[in-house]
Chain A
């Protein structure tokens, strides 16, 4: 399987160019700072009395969601930066000529690139989230309801934006493809908020805009799934009482992502990956 050679090259490049080292150091810095922050939560007092345990958990869960949003955002950015020049960079430097003249098909080459990038996304998302969750647990004894589901959603979000950037990389330079992928990521995030506002005001038109952006690029939908996995039941109950207005809050999810959405995302990734293979097949390096 020659695709594996390509996948290993992607990972080796990230290691050699010290991307993994840089991410590890930055993650440790963030974890240290947020760990200190979490450790201060129990010291908060209200009218001289310490906060009840339930409230500490709610604050911790909120703080954790914000921290994890930063991680997922960094993951999306990093995935775009690494994926966007993957194929276009090889074509521009002529590396692709040397590789593709070997007995390797275009589909194998694109699959190898995707697999290598997917491994990087999984390593970073899984590693960073596990370290952060572990530190929070050690410092304050808080474990979110579904940590594994959370990691799975964040990895899926990274895979979605990475696959899109890889598709763009088959045709556009890394710079252009990267900017487009990030703009779309931003639009999807705003689209999620807009859809929430539509729901709050019971406006079908605006809600549909939100749903459409969620389907065109499902990153925000996946983020909401990740948020839901971090929310304690008490918090969801409080949010439900606040009514549909809370749907506009990008750091809140009122319900779990339905299975149909998860299947849709799998189909979306397969489709965009297939387009990347077709697009690169028609390209001359």
Chain B
């Protein structure tokens, strides 16, 4: 975590539509320069959170700050939005404009100095790989190209904060790879990225920190290392004497996976002791691997866990 002021901060930010709670008291802080993954199943309140942060919806209660500007101060928040890029999840640009024209409209909306437009547009088109189709009407674009254009629009003017809502939902594997590269480039540039996604592998590959949301609440937040702690070890060993396994149970929960023995809940500094104990019981050890829980396992276990 950096010491800089947070790019996004929320305190008990909530949104209700009548009896339906879309977001129930979101409290979080995202340091400037972080790539932050916002994970959750469909309907968890991810898009609602993004809309609140962008002033597209009004919170029912709570407060949030985007680049230091409070949501409740409309004028300050509007000014701050000049430095925020946003790729919506479901959107269409004016089909009767070309990509270059869409980008020009957004240059003007951001209030970018006119002298910078051409360079910025060329940059954005190059990054998202649309340079050759820049003058074609957006109406003729595939879904993936529209998404690339959306990403280009979000990158215009080198914003300090970029919010990406499911940026790869319409992309093929090459496109997904490209988006990951774009996010890494943004990070290198010091841009804060807020990535809304349900694609766990994507989040796992690019995010520094992750929040897992469900039913409008953050149920876990932390770095990937914190979230995916290695608390299991896999050992390939043969020749362990009958009854020898009983003595190993003090290290953790045992499970057989073919030739492999999985010990869950073992502290990492006890792994050498475990190996010695296996050898003492006549076992021949061929391999020892710490086993990381995948984000998917963690995600599913968090969502399944009954909560108060």
* A residues adjacent to B (C-beta < 8 A): 2, 5, 9, 12-13, 16-17, 93-95, 97-105, 284-285
A227 to B228, CA, bound (A): 78
Q: Mark out the residues of chain B between 23 and 75 whose CB falls within 8 Å of any chain A CB in the assembled complex.
A: 51, 54-58, 74
**14 interchain pairs, CB-CB under 8 A:** A13-B94, A17-B96, A94-B91, A97-B51, A98-B150, A98-B153, A99-B109, A100-B55, A100-B56, A101-B55, A101-B56, A101-B81, A101-B86, A103-B80
A100 to B56, CA, bound (A): 7
Contacts of B245 in A (CB 8 A): none
Q: Are B88 and A94 in contact (CB under 8 A)?
A: yes
A94 to B93, CA, bound (A): 8
B300 CB within 8 Å of chain A:
no
B189 CB within 8 Å of chain A:
no
Q: A13-B96, A16-B96, A105-B78 known; A2 and B109 CB under 8 Å?
A: yes
Interface residues on B, range: 20 to 34
Q: Are A94 and B92 in contact (CB under 8 A)?
A: yes
- Counting chain A CB atoms within 10 Å of each CB, the highest count among B54, B84, B96 belongs to B96
A99 to B92, CA, bound (A): 11
Q: Are A105 and B74 in contact (CB under 8 A)?
A: yes
A156 to B90, CA, bound (A): 38
* B residues adjacent to A (C-beta < 8 A): 51, 54-58, 74, 78-82, 84, 86, 88, 90-94, 96-97, 105-106, 108-111, 150, 153
Q: A13-B96, A16-B96, A284-B57 known; A102 and B91 CB under 8 Å?
A: no
Contacts of A285 in B (CB 8 A): 56
Contacts of A103 in B (CB 8 A): 78-82, 109-111
Residue of A nearest to B81 (CB): A103
A101 to B96, CA, bound (A): 21
Q: Are A102 and B110 in contact (CB under 8 A)?
A: yes
Q: Which 4 A-B pairs have the closest CB atoms?
A: A94-B91, A102-B109, A16-B96, A97-B88
Contacts of B90 in A (CB 8 A): 94
A98 to B51, CA, bound (A): 11
Q: A17-B96, A98-B150 known; A5 and B91 CB under 8 Å?
A: no
Q: Closest CB of chain A to B100's CB: distance in Å?
A: 14
Q: Closest CB of chain A to B66's CB: distance in Å?
A: 11
**Of the candidates A16, A95, A100, A105, which one forms a contact with B93 in the assembled complex, judged by CB atoms under 8 Å apart?**
A95
**Of the candidates A5, A17, A100, which one forms a contact with B105 in the assembled complex, judged by CB atoms under 8 Å apart?**
A5
A284 to B57, CA, bound (A): 5
Q: Are A5 and B78 in contact (CB under 8 A)?
A: no
Contacts of B78 in A (CB 8 A): 103-105
Q: Closest CB of chain B to A174's CB: distance in Å?
A: 15
A192 to B25, CA, bound (A): 56
A17 to B139, CA, bound (A): 12
A2 to B55, CA, bound (A): 17
Residue of A nearest to B92 (CB): A93
**Of the candidates A9, A97, A105, A284, which one forms a contact with B91 in the assembled complex, judged by CB atoms under 8 Å apart?**
A97
Q: Are A95 and B96 in contact (CB under 8 A)?
A: no
Q: Closest CB of chain B to A58's CB: distance in Å?
A: 47
Q: Are A5 and B56 in contact (CB under 8 A)?
A: no
Q: A5-B109, A104-B109 known; A98 and B93 CB under 8 Å?
A: yes
Q: Are B88 and A9 in contact (CB under 8 A)?
A: no
Q: A101-B54, A102-B106, A103-B110 known; A93 and B91 CB under 8 Å?
A: yes
Contacts of A9 in B (CB 8 A): 94, 105
Q: Closest CB of chain A to B199's CB: distance in Å?
A: 20
Q: Are B91 and A2 in contact (CB under 8 A)?
A: no
A189 to B141, CA, bound (A): 45
